[in-house]
Amino acid sequence: MDSDFQARVDLFIRNAETAHQSFKWQDSLNKRLSALLYAADNRDYDAAAVEAALNCIKESTRFFSQFRGNTSLSIATMMALAENPALLLQNALDIYDRLKKAGFRSSDYLTIAAVLIAEHAHLNLNDLVKFDPDVVVIRAKAFYDGMHAAHWAITGQDDYIFAAMLALSDLKIEKGLQLIEELYLELKPDFWRKNSFHGLAQVLALAGNVPELTARLESLRQAFREVNLRLDGENTMTTLGVLALLPPEPAEIVAAVQSACEYLRQHKRFGSWSVGKQELLLYAASLFAFESADQINRDVLKSTLTTSVASIIIAQQTAALIAVYTATTVAASASSSAN
């Protein structure tokens, strides 16, 4: 690892320890994800700010609200990282209701989609005066309905977040759906887990038309396999897609991620009894993506990193949603570099 990347990994380790000590009643995975969000923003963990955000959620929602469910610590972390946490939550709750009225079903996934859209407004405008959430909701529903029409058997609530990300992108709806389908068909011969590579196609589509992208993806896939690291499994495939959007050569990416895995494993909260191999690999890959994208285009990241908060991970979908969180940042950087 180079010094900048190691500093990012060390930050994540410190943040994970702080989160662990501060929220003993929270699930360990959720605490690590909260720490990852702070590391993604290259900031030390602020437990007091996260606790205040959790209290704000309790004061602003009913007892059985989805915002108090599996994603509560992640949402609180996003709020704590925002300039105005209370406004972010207010906007997210409003957008959540709009999404449900549009036909989306209540779920943990929908809470993250709502926060993602609200974060976009909050980050860029600090209010909804110039930001039209109804347009974004309509776009999100159009993207989702288009994906469902093409692949109804494998499109479900876990695609809500992808739909929100696509709605916030510059992609035209028809062109975006066409690009997703083209990527899906390109990936189909080599990736047999249909639901996973459908999500992979959605992640890759966020970068727009990137030349030789699927060939690069396959090269990276094989490079990881050569060192006995598998990012092409059912729950990790989208992370592979995120890394494929980065400019470094596959060998450099694999070496850095492998080194980060070994380094993380040496530390207290990341032993084999606490964190599985695939989860550890996902953290290492995500941290590399954050650092690499940061080096590509700091200005782009400044306005998009928190927006890409869609990837906050629902516990049962850790792999896919970590990739989602990094995807928008990397896609924006890749698109900027291509232009």
The predicted-structure confidence for 199-238, as pLDDT tens digits, reads as follows 889 888 888 877 788 899 999 999 999 999 998 876 678 7
Task: Give the CA-trace dihedral at 204, 220, 276, 317, to 10 degrees.
Answer: 10
Confirm if 239 and 285 have CB atoms less than 8 A apart. yes
* Tokens at 117, concatenated: 């859209």
Q: What is the pLDDT of residue 339?
A: 55
Contacts (Cβ under 8 Å, ≥6 apart) of 135: none
Of residues 331, 317, 105, 319, the one with CA closest to residue 206 = 331
Reported as a pLDDT band with limits 50, 70 and 90, residue 296 is low
Q: What is the pLDDT of residue 175?
A: 95
Q: Picking from 41-45, 80-84, 329-333, which range would have the lowest pLDDT averaged per residue?
A: 329-333
Reported as a pLDDT band with limits 50, 70 and 90, residue 128 is very low
Of residues 204, 265, 193, the one with CA closest to residue 235 = 193
Name the packing angle between helices 160-168 and 133-150 (round to 10°): 130
Q: Which residue has the tokens 């032993």?
A: 271
Biggest CA–CA distance in the chain, Å, is 52
Identify the sign of the CA torsion 113, 114, 115, 120: positive
